[in-house]
Amino acid sequence: MHAEAPPTFHPDTNQFLDSVIKLEPRVAAFDCDGTLWSGDAGERFFDWTLREDGGAPDVLGKGITRKAMRDRYAAYKRGEVDETAMCGEMVTMYRGSSEPKMLEAASLFFEKFFLKQVFSEMRELVRRLQAGRCEVWAVSSSNEWVIRAAMKYFDIPASRILAAKVELDGEIGTDRLIRVPSGAGKPQALREVVKKEIDAAFGNSRWDVEMLAMAKQAFAVNPNPDLEAAAREKGWKIYFPEGIR
């Protein structure tokens, strides 16, 4: 068998990859939506499971109505619902569904809608970091089932995922939240679970600022305008993936 040829990237991308690898980080933390791929998989999964004609399995919890969740999300978009509260509700809404069923739905969803949106250079960066014995963590406010489905393509195990998560009764999801890593919740989760210095952190939005600030080296990847402005002010490195330049 022939070894798989290494991916070919633009010189600017190679420079970015090399600049990270040369730091020889021992622990790295990555936001997911917008950082490892284009778009918000958590938001899209939420929308997909609320559609009656979208092909999603029926995973909504007992008493949860599509209209109520859509109204709630509209209130969130108007600034009437807190970010962390909304992210929590976007996982507790599946209470009563089994974890195997949720993982099956999440895998179907990610492969169908988001696999082609993965930034190939970010996938390569994770691969190189892991090859160099770096401990890589995925940190997200999206529900853990979607992030677990996505991390199969990055070879990041479930034990190194910190995402919005609920307690299980056996295999059945409950409405009891374990964590919702958003904003200040990201460094909090890293301190509680990883308990090591974060050498490098990667994020794309203002909800990643606190996580980026805790790292020795911060990288704003595909940053939203507000994070880009903050990154320039703080001197953080900025990188825009090839697919969105």
DSSP string, 144-198: HHHHHHHHTTTT--GGGEEEEEEEEETTEEEEEEEE--STTHHHHHIIIII-S--
Does residue 1 carry a pLDDT above 50? no
Residues 59-86: what's their mean pLDDT? 97
Quote the CA–CA distance of 160 and 188 in Å, as a whole number: 15
- The answer to whether residue 3 is domain-embedded is no
Q: Which residues, at least 6 apart from 142, have a Cβ–Cβ distance to it below 8 Å? A: 32, 33, 40, 41, 42, 43, 45, 87, 90, 163, 164
Question: pLDDT band for position 243 (50/70/90)?
Answer: confident
Burial of 63 (0-12, 13-18, 19+ CB in 10 A): exposed
Q: Which domain holds residue 149?
A: 11-244
Q: What is the CATH number of the domain that holds 76?
A: 3.40.50.1000
Q: What is the pLDDT of residue 245?
A: 77
Question: pLDDT band for position 81 (50/70/90)?
Answer: very high
How many CA atoms lie within 13 Å of 224's alpha carbon, on the beta-carbon side? 13
Question: pLDDT band for position 7 (50/70/90)?
Answer: confident
- The answer to whether residue 5 is domain-embedded is no
Residue 200: name the closest of 132, 122, 134 by CA: 134
- The answer to whether residue 145 is domain-embedded is yes
Q: What is the pLDDT of residue 53?
A: 84
Give the SS3 label for residue 30: strand
Residues 59-74: what's their mean pLDDT? 96
Q: What pTM was computed for the model?
A: 0.95
- The answer to whether residue 238 is domain-embedded is yes
- The answer to whether residue 34 is domain-embedded is yes
- Tally the domains of the chain: 1
Quote the CA–CA distance of 116 and 51 in Å, as a whole number: 22
pLDDT digits (tens, 9 = 90+) for 157-166: 999 999 999 9
Q: What is the pLDDT of residue 2?
A: 47
Question: pLDDT band for position 46 (50/70/90)?
Answer: very high
Question: pLDDT band for position 4 (50/70/90)?
Answer: low
Does residue 95 carry a pLDDT above 50? yes
pLDDT digits (tens, 9 = 90+) for 114-131: 999 999 999 999 999 999
Quote the CA–CA distance of 42 and 145 in Å, as a whole number: 10
C-alpha dist (Å) from residue 39 to 1, 45, 148 = 36, 11, 17
- The answer to whether residue 104 is domain-embedded is yes
Q: What is the pLDDT of residue 177?
A: 98
Amino acid at 9: F
Residues 17-30: what's their mean pLDDT? 98
Q: What is the pLDDT of residue 3?
A: 53
Q: What is the pLDDT of residue 5?
A: 67
- The answer to whether residue 150 is domain-embedded is yes
Give the SS3 label for residue 2: coil
Does residue 209 carry a pLDDT above 90? yes
Quote the CA–CA distance of 153 and 103 in Å, as a whole number: 14
Q: What is the pLDDT of residue 189?
A: 98
Question: pLDDT band for position 244 (50/70/90)?
Answer: confident
Average pLDDT, the chain: 96
Does residue 233 carry a pLDDT above 70? yes
- The answer to whether residue 6 is domain-embedded is no
Does residue 188 carry a pLDDT above 80? yes
